[in-house]
């Protein structure tokens, strides 16, 4: 939320002349939270009034962006407008991609590394500080130039996103200093492309949208009962006809990396493997009566682990990001009243592996741990859906497996505080607010941006009730999720339109969970203005 130290003067009706009488440099006295100040009509950099901050300019107002900047220190001056003669310069070759991108977007000249300073420059600087949040940044607009500095490349990129929105929304960047950083480190969109395939172009468009909004993660759930949607060399027999090639995925991954977005792959197991089982029916889980269990692989068979690990190892080379989603939810062997009686083969395998008192739950947890070990060997941090973690049992899920909390409706449902009290890290996928389920099956309704904006925070993990503040640091962030349960219910263009405002509301609350300064109607209007 913007700091508004300067607002007291305006609210009390005191003349701005009072600021002129103050001691020291008044160029950065106070802050406000409104639209950008503009250069006097008819002037350009170097023409007309001096671009240096003077008392002849009113105190600037903070930029209006999505997500909102967290702090703006106001100044007096004309602000900054992009012009074709202006340069983008960097102080480190690592910032070349960020520099070229913003230069193209604002139609400026990318000049690379330069030591000289010119009127109108946009300067991008790395201020490496091992102790600072690498996604934080400072943007200074003063003396006819803009400087974006950050301890990491991601922070510089986010500073350029703020500048891009300022120019698009108000035509100018206001004089002063923005100091900004996200509250939460994981800010994502998860896309179910297994049930409903999406084109590579559509996914790339979403990545550009996410980047401009300062999201840093896109999850691809590309394997489920209805389809396996990415080319495979280790098991081509499982791939659906409608799928993405590895070349297309590499282009998606590279585009995401250029926007500081991690692509998080998900091959859900041991449930939701119908597309794999269709090509390997001998791996289908069957109950005591011989009945096939839809989507569930028989985890008592060594071949089941081998094929899933083959895929995890294969795709580790395609998805270089540090995150991996293992699924782990809705294994149908565990939704019956007596799993040991219904699935004697699983029960026997559990006892053989973990001892006489072991259960099917223990065997399932062991499966999750083994898959976590597979991705951990590739330096990935594993996560799994919360209903893949069980209370009690002789086998416990690895402590480093992050909890993707989405529901409290499963058999044996556990309150979010149970996971948190165990010291686990959690990512918020609350299905009450953040699940966009095509066709609205069961009790799902399409989420609205307004409801997320006004009622949800990262602490609201289940339903509408927040967990205690003491767990805030363990909640790493959140992710909006699009599920394709009834894939023909919407076209991919309708999906893009339907999630537009929910995405903006979600990132606002992940960037700053406090009560937003703008009412919803103004936030929605701002989103329309910014595009």
CA dist 157 to 73, 87, 115, 527, Å?
20, 17, 21, 20
Domain that holds residue 246: 186-530
CB proximity list for 305: less than 8 A, separation 6 or greater: 299, 367, 370
- For residue 113, the SS3 value is strand
CATH code (residue 135): 3.30.379.10
Do 161 and 223 belong together in one domain?
no
Do 156 and 215 belong together in one domain?
no
Token pair, residue 174, equals 């206001």
Do 110 and 239 belong together in one domain?
no
At residue 55, the pLDDT reads: 63
Do 137 and 260 belong together in one domain?
no
Do 92 and 235 belong together in one domain?
no
Number of domains observed in the structure of the chain: 2
Q: What is the 3-state secondary structure (H, E, C) of 267-301?
A: EEECCCCHHHHHHCHHHEEECCCCCEEEEEECCCC
Is 330 among the catalytic positions? yes
Please, where are the H alpha helices in 219-359?
246-258, 274-279, 302-316, 339-342, 344-354
Is the residue at 57 inside a domain?
Answer: no
CATH code (residue 376): 3.20.20.80
Q: Which of 98, 217, 330, 361 is catalytic?
A: 330
- What is the residue whose two structure tokens read 């089941």? 304
Is the residue at 416 inside a domain?
Answer: yes
CA separation for the pair 231, 245 (Å, rounded): 5
* pLDDT of the chain, 531 residues: tens digit per residue: 444 333 323 332 322 222 222 233 333 233 333 333 333 333 333 333 444 555 689 999 999 999 999 999 999 999 999 999 999 999 999 999 999 999 999 999 999 999 899 999 999 999 988 789 999 999 999 999 999 999 999 999 999 999 999 999 999 999 999 999 999 999 999 999 999 999 999 999 999 999 999 999 999 999 999 999 999 999 999 999 999 999 999 999 999 999 999 999 999 999 999 999 999 999 999 999 999 999 999 999 999 999 999 999 999 999 999 999 999 999 999 999 999 999 999 999 999 999 999 999 999 999 999 999 999 999 999 999 999 999 989 999 999 999 999 998 877 788 999 999 999 999 999 999 999 999 999 999 999 999 999 999 999 999 999 999 999 999 999 999 999 999 999 999 999 999 999 999 999 999 999 999 999 999 999 999 999
At residue 54, the pLDDT reads: 55
CA dist 512 to 90, 217, 482, 520, 530, Å?
29, 17, 23, 15, 19
At residue 392, the pLDDT reads: 86
Do 463 and 496 belong together in one domain?
yes
CA separation for the pair 117, 142 (Å, rounded): 13
Strand-pair category, 71-74 with 176-180: antiparallel
Asked if residues 335 and 270 have their Cβ atoms less than 8 Å apart, the reply is no
Do 520 and 384 belong together in one domain?
yes
Do 152 and 234 belong together in one domain?
no
Q: Of 144, 161, 180, which marks where a domain is finished? A: 180
Do 161 and 246 belong together in one domain?
no
The model carries a pTM of: 0.89
Do 343 and 197 belong together in one domain?
yes
CA angle, corner 18, sides to 38 and 63, nearest 5? 30
The number of beta carbons lying within 10 Å of the beta carbon of residue 156 is 29
Is the residue at 5 inside a domain?
Answer: no
Do 216 and 109 belong together in one domain?
no
Asked if residues 78 and 37 have their Cβ atoms less than 8 Å apart, the reply is yes
Q: Which neighbouring-strand residues pair with 112? A: 89
Is the residue at 362 inside a domain?
Answer: yes
Asked if residues 203 and 222 have their Cβ atoms less than 8 Å apart, the reply is no
The number of beta carbons lying within 10 Å of the beta carbon of residue 388 is 27
Do 130 and 92 belong together in one domain?
yes
């Amino acid at each position: 939320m913007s700091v508004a130290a300067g607002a007291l003067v305006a609210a009390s009706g005191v003349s701005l002349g009072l600021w002129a009488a103050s001691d020291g440099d008044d160029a950065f006295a106070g802050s406000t939270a409104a639209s950008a100040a503009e250069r006097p009509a008819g002037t350009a950099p170097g023409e007309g009034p001096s671009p240096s901050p003077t008392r002849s300019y009113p105190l600037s107002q903070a930029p209006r962006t999505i997500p909102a900047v967290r702090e703006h220190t106001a100044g007096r001056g004309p602000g900054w407008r992009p012009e074709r003669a202006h340069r983008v310069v960097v102080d480190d070759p690592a910032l070349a991609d960020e520099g070229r991108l913003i230069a193209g977007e604002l139609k400026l000249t990318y000049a690379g590394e330069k030591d000289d300073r010119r009127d109108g420059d946009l300067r991008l600087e790395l201020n490496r500080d091992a102790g600072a949040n690498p996604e934080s940044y400072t943007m200074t607009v003063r003396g006819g130039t803009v400087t974006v500095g950050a301890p990491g490349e991601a922070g510089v990129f986010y500073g350029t996103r703020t500048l891009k929105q300022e120019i698009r929304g108000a035509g100018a960047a206001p004089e002063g200093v923005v100091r900004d950083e996200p509250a939460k480190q994981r800010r994502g969109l998860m896309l179910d492309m297994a049930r409903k395939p999406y084109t590579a172009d559509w996914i790339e468009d979403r990545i550009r949208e996410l980047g401009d909004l300062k999201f840093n993660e896109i999850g691809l759930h590309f394997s489920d009962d209805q389809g396996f949607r990415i080319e495979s060399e280790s098991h081509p027999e499982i791939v659906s006809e409608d799928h993405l090639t590895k070349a297309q995925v590499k282009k998606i991954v590279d585009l995401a990396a250029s926007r500081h977005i991690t692509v998080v792959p998900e091959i859900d197991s041991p449930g939701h493997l119908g597309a794999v089982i269709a090509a390997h029916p001998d791996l289908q889980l069957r109950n005591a009566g011989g009945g096939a269990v839809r989507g569930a692989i028989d985890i008592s068979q060594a071949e089941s682990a081998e094929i899933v690990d083959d895929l995890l190892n294969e795709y580790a080379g395609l998805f270089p990001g540090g995150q991996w989603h293992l699924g782990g939810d809705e294994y149908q062997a565990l939704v019956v009243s007596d799993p040991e009686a219904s699935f004697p083969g699983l029960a026997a395998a559990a006892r053989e592996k973990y001892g006489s008192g072991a259960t099917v739950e223990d065997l399932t947890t062991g499966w999750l741990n083994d898959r976590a070990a597979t991705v951990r060997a590739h330096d990935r941090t594993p996560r799994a859906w919360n209903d893949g973690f069980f209370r009690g049992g002789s086998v416990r899920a690895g402590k480093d497996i992050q909890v993707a909390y989405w529901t409290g409706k499963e058999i044996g449902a556990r309150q979010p505080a149970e996971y948190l009290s165990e010291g686990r890290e959690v990512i918020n996928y609350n299905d009450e607010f953040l699940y966009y389920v095509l066709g609205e099956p069961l009790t799902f309704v399409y989420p609205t941006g307004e409801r997320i904006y006004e009622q949800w925070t990262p602490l609201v993990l289940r339903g509408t009730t927040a967990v205690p503040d003491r767990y805030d640091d363990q909640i790493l962030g959140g992710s909006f999720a699009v599920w394709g349960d009834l894939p023909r219910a919407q076209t991919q263009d309708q999906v893009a339109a339907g999630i537009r405002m929910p995405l903006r509301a979600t990132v606002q609350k992940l960037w700053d969970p406090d009560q937003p300064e703008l009412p919803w109607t103004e936030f929605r209007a701002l989103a329309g203005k910014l595009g």
